[in-house]
Structure 1
Amino acid sequence: MCTMWIDGFNGVARHIARNVDFAVVAAAGLPALRAHARDRRWTDLRLLSASEGTFKYDLGSEDAEGNQDSTVSVFTRDGDGPVRHAYSAHPRMADGIDQRGIDLLTPVWHILDLTPRGRGDWSAGLDY
């Protein structure tokens, strides 16, 4: 699922950069992340690796067993002050509601939701 969201972010990154500093942080090491980015043609994103630090654990995007969960986090800074964590959101809203907590961040769901069949059992893949 993360790849689909990042595909969309790549398409709007230049617009976003006019107002905010935007980065994608991944658990993968930098060589693997760069290779995946090349394959997906992510040319407009700032990609950062959290493979060596605690960032992914601190924000709940990975647990001690290595289970990962997509996470969107917002940080702010006032002038030259400290960086502050404003909030984080995860896609799982509850045990029975999977992948809906950050739907607003991908236009794919919006388009499918406009069609008579809706999303059906479709899910994003890496094969297209």
Structure 2
Amino acid sequence: MNTSVHTSPPQHAVVSPDQWLKERKALLAREKELLRLQDQIARERRALPWTRIDKPYTFDTPEGPRALADLFEGRGQLIVQHFMLGAGWEQGCPSCSFMADHTDGMTVHLAQRDIAFVAVSHAPLVEIARFRQRMGWKFRWVSSHGSDFNHDFHVSFTPEEEARGEVYYNYRMQPFEIDELPGISVFVKNGAGEVFHTYSAYRRGVEAMMGTYHLIDLTPRGRDEDALSYPMAWVRHHDRYEPAPVPAPAGACCQAHA
């Protein structure tokens, strides 16, 4: 079923070019305020203290078992996408896949800034490889199956937590939803090979990877999700979308009723 909402643009005032320019400049001043605030928050994010990773996490990779420090691949910084793909799942989460669709074009640029990227999922590597091949992605993707990594970063939950009905996610206790949830974590490695956790984001914080949303937000209808059962209900795996509707030629409706 196609849950996309295709409606006419909302009714807006139509004004002269001079009036439009006046109002656009007023909005530009607000946009600049937002950019300055984003820059300030980025500085505060970089100033956060670090915590050393002492637990010896091991990941299953196509090259064999690897430690967290190995995932940096010689770089000093590492971004991890906590990708929702649990053991036995037929396919990965559509929203996490939406995030991942943006990744392959970014990794070459991240590497120029001393940043490695890896997706980590709780599913066994063979299940990751099968879905990765289907989606045609090239970015590095490893398995934390058998490791505490996902649990320690609060994106996978145990049957005991599920039975309790509450889990710790996004820095607070909240009702259990599903045994896997999304996130992004950032790590840094020093010259001595020590690894530190510097940042993690969950919920809407993962929109940092969703460049499509940033473009959608520029359009008159914006995200247009109010009528959906939940905000991202329209998102599909990129090989599961129905063809986009083809607009009728101008005047076709009138000709049909002539």
TM interval, short-chain normalised: 0.7 to 0.9
**In 2: Cα distance, 1:67 partner to 1:120 partner:** 29
| Identity %, equivalent residues | 29
Counterpart residue type for residue 74 of structure 1: V
1:96 counterpart residue number: none
Which of 183, 192, 198 does residue 80 from structure 1 map onto? 192
> RMSD of aligned C-alpha atoms?
1.5
AA aligned to 1:33 is I
The amino acid of 2:189's aligned partner reads R
Equivalent in the alignment of 1:58? 152
Residue of structure 2 equivalent to 1:125: 236
Which structure 2 segments of 5+ residues have no match?
A: 1-94, 160-177, 226-231, 242-258
CA distance in 1, matches of 2:122, 2:235: 20
Counterpart amino acid of residue 124 in structure 1: V
* Corresponding residue pairs, total: 119
Structure 1: which 4+ aligned runs deviate by more than 2 Å? none
Alignment partners' CA distance in 1, 2:111 and 2:194: 21
The answer on 1:103 being equivalent to 2:204 is no
TM-score (normalised: structure 1)? 0.85
Which residue in the other structure is 1:49 paired with?
143
Question: Deviation at 1:28?
Answer: 1.6
- Post-superposition CA distance 1:65-121 (Å, at most 9, x none): 362111100111111241011111101xxxxxxxx2222221111111111111112
| 2:209 matches 1:115 | no
Post-superposition offset of 1:32: 1.0
How far has the Cα of 1:23 moved from its partner? 0.9
CA drift of 1:34 comes to 0.7
TM-score by length of 2: 0.44
Larger radius of gyration: 2
Tell me: higher relative CO, structure 1 or 2? Use CA pairs within 8 A at least 6 residues apart: 2
